[in-house]
Amino acid sequence: MIYLFDIDGTLTPSRLKIDPEFEKFFLEWMTDKEVIFVTGSDKDKTIEQVGEKIWTNASRVYQSCGNAVYQGGELIERKDFKLTFELESLLAKFLGRSNWQLNGKVYGNHIEERIGLINFSTIGRSCPQEAREAYAEWDKDVLERETFCRIIEHKFPELEATVGGQISIDIYPKGQNKAQVLDDLTGPITFFGDKCDKGGNDYPIVAEMERQFEENRRHCVVHRVKDYTDTWDILKSY
């Protein structure tokens, strides 16, 4: 059995470090299992959240929604995607259209280029945790990020855009989402993720796993968790 995990919101609080007690539990839990991570974040942010030990003890780590693959601590595969002038112009328009500015402050670092994807945030990735949580709560009703994702996919049919974390969206070439990691993996898979609904960046892999299960191509189990405490509770039974 392969145990496949999202990171942010699944093993850690969003954009925060792993709970020390859960870290101790998880390190012991993963010792005799094949554990693989698939996250929209880059290597440095993931290590900052889960720690060097958990990151290096994983069988494989798929960063940037699977567009940067690490094994044994080494980068073994990458798929690049560069920000175009046209896409950057559209994202700049989103900053001017965002209604969040009527509710709270906007911070810096709106666009971040990672291996294989662009991460975009209207509030800005430099925002403090309090503002991050306020934006996430506001967006539950407003659905600003979902709206921006639909606009991007309409204007650029060759791209996909999904909601990730509390404050941002991930943009990448069509098909270069988390589901692509399934092409590398054989055998049954148990997946844990917190953004499994349509529009979330875990949705593509969940949808593909469910399709493969229905077609009797693979035994799959999906755990849709609300936060790391859900994951912790479930893992106690494995």
The per-residue pLDDT for 100 is 87
Distance CA 147, CA 149 (A): 5
Average pLDDT, consecutive stretches of 10 residues, N- to C-terminus, the chain (238 residues): 96 93 97 96 94 96 96 94 96 90 80 94 91 92 95 97 91 94 96 92 95 94 96 95
Using alpha carbons only, what angle is made at residue 149 by residues 160 and 96, rounded to the nearest 5 degrees? 135
Residues of the chain with CATH 3.30.1240.20: 85-173
The per-residue pLDDT for 26 is 98
Told to judge if 42 belongs to the known catalytic residues of this protein, a careful annotator would answer: no
Residues of the chain with CATH 3.40.50.1000: 2-79+177-235
Q: Which of 6, 42, 139, 202 is catalytic?
A: 6
The per-residue pLDDT for 99 is 85
The per-residue pLDDT for 14 is 84
Please determine, looking at this structure, whether the domain spanning 85-173 carries the CATH number 3.30.1240.20: yes
Distance CA 72, CA 139 (A): 38
Would you state the CATH architecture of domain 2-79+177-235?
Answer: 3-Layer(aba) Sandwich (3.40)
| Unique residue bearing structure tokens 């093993």 | 11
> What rounded mean pLDDT belongs to the chain?
94
